[in-house]
Amino acid sequence: MKETTYKYISHFCSKLGEMTLASDREALTGLWFDGQKHFPRGLEEAEEDDFQPVFDDTRRWLDIYFTGREPDFKPQLRPVGTAFQQWVWQTLLRIPYGETTTYGAIAKLLASETDSSSMSAQAVGNAVGRNPILIIIPCHRVIGADGNLTGYAGGIKRKQALLQLEKADMLFGRL
């Protein structure tokens, strides 16, 4: 039998809608708004279990976050993706609470970290859009070069609400 990263699931009712949490028992492997773009397949095979310690940590993190405060901890995270996606997602974790950056700025940073002359902002955008752990891995803090809110799998209205909750600086913070 194939090993899955979604062994257990639980649910969380946020201010912005119902969310599904997934775990491999040791770490959070997914956090999605129900029905969002890129909602994963295979969750129906996962066991419903509200008592996983990582789910308790995640719900505590979300409770703090949705009061408009920055949590001072993160649950154990284990997003599954390609090496490039992992690299981009780790970079997203470096965007400070209440700040934003652009796809192009991330591409430029990643290029500099590999001594490459350039990196595709579109490739970065594709990886950002496949982030399986919304909010905690803050893909909502990435905006278009012109300041427009673009491409959030949970929906643009939710992205806007999350940035407002954080009182985000829309002047493209630095990574």
Catalytic residues: 139
Instruction: With beta carbons less than 8 A apart as the criterion, state whether 58 and 28 touch.
Output: yes
Neighbour order of strands in the sheet with 28-33: 28-33, 17-23, 8-14, 47-48
Between vectors from CA 128 to CA 124 and to CA 133, what angle results, nearest 5°?
155
Closest CA to 95 of 42, 131, 36, 141: 141
Instruction: With beta carbons less than 8 A apart as the criterion, state whether 51 and 28 touch.
Output: no
The token pair that represents 84 in the structure block: 């490039």
